Amino acid sequence: MISTALAQRLRDAGLHWAPVSGDVFQLAPGAGTGADGELEGDLFTVSDMTIEAHVYPTGTILGFNGTTEWALDSVALEDALWLPREDQLRDLLQSTFRSLDRLEGGGAVSYRVRVERAGEQREFASDDPAEAYGLAVLELVLASRD
């Protein structure tokens, strides 16, 4: 799973999230949920049984069904921070994705994602494959804004 910091950078860059079952999210810092920050950092999973995405003309609300979380009835999508999984990040790279390589050296393991866009190859490395994918997606999102 990617870090909260990278998830925030992806969101700030303009990565769009349409919640589906299985997605993981956190309450965004300062979400104003009335829970006084006590749920900040907790992970939640969208599920047809417990947390459902309700789409209205005014926006998407994540509804907490039953007693999933006593302090919340619902959260606006803007108050949730999506933590995309490794497979979701790879899918977001689409045809730019070239490879994921595991690198070993000096007793440490890291991962390198290679992408190609407009004939230029780029590499993104991290000690977690999802984070490396996330860094590549971040660059792709930022490049799409230009």
Q: What is the pLDDT of residues 10-68, one digit of tens each?
A: 999 999 999 999 999 998 876 655 445 566 678 988 887 778 888 888 888 888 776 54
Rounded to two decimals, the pTM is 0.82
Residue where a domain stops, chosen among 82, 97, 131:
82
Domain assignment of residue 137, yes or no: yes
Q: pLDDT class for 75, splitting at 50, 70, 90?
A: confident
- CATH number for 115: 3.30.160
Structural domain of residue 55, as residue ranges? Answer: 18-82
What are the residues whose beta carbons fall under 8 Å from the beta carbon of 18, sequence distance 6 or more?
A: 53, 60
Q: pLDDT class for 71, splitting at 50, 70, 90?
A: low
Domain assignment of residue 7, yes or no: no
User: What pLDDT, on the 0 to 100 scale, is given for residue 66?
Assistant: 63
User: What pLDDT, on the 0 to 100 scale, is given for residue 63?
Assistant: 82
Residue where a domain stops, chosen among 27, 50, 82:
82
